[in-house]
Amino acid sequence: MPSYVIVGASQGLGYEWLRQLSSDPTNTVIGLVRTPSNVHPKLAVDSISNVHIIKADMADNNSLIVAAAETKKITGGYVDYLIVNGVNQNVQENFLSPTEFVGKEDLLTSAMMDSVNVNLLGVIFTINAFVPLVRKSSIKKITVISTGFADRDMVEASTISFSVTYSAIKAALNIVVAKYAAELKPEGITLLALSPGLVDTGKNNGMPPEVAKKVGIMMADFKTHYPQWDGVPLTPAKSVQMQKKVIEDVDIDRTGSFLSHHGNKSWL
């Protein structure tokens, strides 16, 4: 009976993880969310009754320690798969290129620090809170959701100059994952930084014209570098299916890897 902890499970890919994993009654599925009252009604609508929702905030280390203690009671003391999906992204600054922050230094600073607190420190807090439970597992897998935007080779080859904070902090996160892998490999714990692909989670619906223009640039760039791509983002369901396969297939010899939903460096 494998146990899964999905961190950041209230919407988008995180909620889709809950939905798919709960379809197998032999799974023990736990979702960490900041506001459980927002998630319980969705589970009820989807007739999902075998998911445990625990309140936690990735930027609050104490809440994660408490969540790990609650998880221990539910699973009997172990976690097979820890999947850190939660993310902070500032829409106001995400589509600005580096020089466009002139006169917007406060926006850049606040966005960068918020990103560090959740996307970097929050991941460290989360892994440290749950690694004692992962150690008790026979599977021992920790996956952190990253992005192809954190691949330097991809960035250098592209014309996409925005997503500065998100890309930079996720690139730093990939190094953190590699450092955990170096430390925990002797214990048989497998670490993975995983890009979910380009996924339509509905967040870009009703975007303003200036953002739509940048998204158009991004899509054109993708088509240039991935001519075989059909131009259609993945659904959350398809992305999670592909992510799950990569997670299951990766072994200790590849611990610390940064991979796409294809299990390689093809980001679309």
Alpha-carbon distance 242 to 220, whole Å?
Answer: 24
Continuous segment of H or E residues that includes residue 23 = none
Q: Is 73 a catalytic residue?
A: no
DSSP string, 140-167: -EEEEE--GGG-HHHHHHS-----HHHH
The residue annotated as part of the active site, out of 4, 78, 81, 166, is 166
- Left if phi > 0, otherwise alpha if psi is -120 to 50, otherwise beta: which for 113? alpha
The residue annotated as part of the active site, out of 140, 141, 170, 244, is 170
Alpha-carbon distance 184 to 125, whole Å?
Answer: 16
CB 20 within 8 Å of CB 66: no
How far CA 17 is from CA of 44, 62, 103, 197, 239, in Å, comes to 16, 25, 40, 15, 10
Phi and psi, residue 259, nearest 5°: -130, 160
Alpha-carbon distance 257 to 255, whole Å?
Answer: 5
Reading the block at residue 87, the tokens are 């993310």
Q: Is 226 a catalytic residue?
A: no
What's the burial of 264, exposed, middle or buried (CB within 10 Å: 0-12/13-18/19+)? exposed
The radius of gyration of the chain's CA atoms, rounded to the nearest angstrom, is 18
How far CA 115 is from CA of 13, 59, 84, 119, in Å, comes to 19, 10, 15, 5
Q: Taking the mean position of all CA atoms in its chain, how far away is CA 156? A: 23
Catalytic residue IDs: 166, 170
